[in-house]
């Protein structure tokens, strides 16, 4: 009897999985249709917990303004903290301000600085990450937590394996990121040879708005602006 119950429950799960495909497809279609119209944008990542009076919030806002002045729009995860700062900077500078929101219990809520026609909601993290990677001309990564690291290493892996075209990945904050980069070099590269020396060139470490703009300008003097795959 118990085996029959388990079999029935398993079959119901498989049926639900099959129907979920249509919801996933719907998120992809909606995302592609909206984001294909936004023009060149740079994504800003960082902690949702960063408060508006924090130096990193103010720096992210200032970076977003400068990026808009350089001719790009801004994409963020749509929530509070560094995401809000990025959208706020874009909004103040009169640029495109996109928010890719994710439904999370008790955590995520969209910020008020996203363009009303450029706020998208996702149930699936993997669909949302595809949108970031496909429609971003660069990643600016402020200090953050596990989600920020996930998005950072996803992009590095896709570029390293030539699944997407190379674009600038800019880490902001030497005091925050230096320990991680030192570990990557001394452990992954030097001690275990788990990456190649050239992989270190995929990442830029900066502290100022000027450096962010210099990297973006230098890269796109040599490369065209287009979706990444």
The answer as to whether 229 is a domain residue is no
* Distant-in-sequence, close-in-space partners of 159: CB < 8 Å, separation ≥ 6: 165, 166, 167, 169, 202
Q: Is the pTM of this model over 0.85?
A: yes
Q: Would you call 146 exposed, middle or buried from its count of C-beta atoms within 10 A (0-12, 13-18, 19+)?
A: exposed
Give 206-226 pLDDT, tens digit per residue: 999 999 999 999 999 987 788
Residue numbers of the domain that contains 195: 2-222
User: Is the Cα torsion angle 207, 41, 156, 124 positive or negative in sign?
Assistant: positive
Own/partner contacts of 95-98, CB < 8 Å, gap of 24 or more, are 95/67, 95/68, 95/69, 96/38, 96/39, 96/41, 96/68, 97/73, 98/35, 98/38, 98/41, 98/73, 98/74
> Structurally, how many domains does the chain consist of?
1
The answer as to whether 139 is a domain residue is yes
CATH of the domain at 207: 3.40.50.450
Give 38-72 pLDDT, tens digit per residue: 999 999 999 999 999 999 999 999 999 999 999 99
């Amino acid at each position: 009897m118990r085996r029959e119950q388990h079999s029935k429950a398993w079959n119901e799960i498989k049926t639900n999985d099959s129907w979920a495909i249509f919801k996933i497809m719907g998120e992809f279609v909606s995302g592609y249709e909206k984001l294909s119209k936004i023009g060149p944008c740079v994504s800003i990542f960082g902690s949702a917990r960063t408060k508006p009076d924090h130096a990193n919030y103010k720096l992210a806002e200032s970076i977003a303004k400068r990026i808009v002045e350089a001719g790009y729009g801004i994409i963020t995860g749509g929530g509070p903290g560094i995401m809000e700062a990025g959208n706020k900077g874009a909004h103040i500078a009169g640029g495109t301000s996109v928010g890719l929101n994710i439904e999370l219990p008790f955590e995520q809520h969209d910020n008020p600085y996203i363009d009303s026609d450029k706020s998208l909601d996702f149930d699936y993290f993997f669909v949302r990450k595809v949108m970031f990677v496909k429609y971003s001309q660069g990643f600016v990564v402020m200090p953050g937590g596990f989600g920020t690291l996930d998005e950072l290493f996803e992009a590095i892996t896709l570029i390293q394996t030539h699944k997407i075209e190379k674009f600038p990945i800019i880490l902001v904050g030497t005091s925050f990121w230096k320990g991680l980069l030192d570990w990557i070099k001394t452990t992954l590269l030097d001690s275990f040879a788990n990456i190649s020396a050239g992989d270190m060139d995929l990442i830029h470490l900066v502290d100022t708005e000027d450096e962010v703009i210099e990297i973006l300008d230098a890269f796109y003097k040599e490369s065209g602006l287009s979706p990444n795959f």
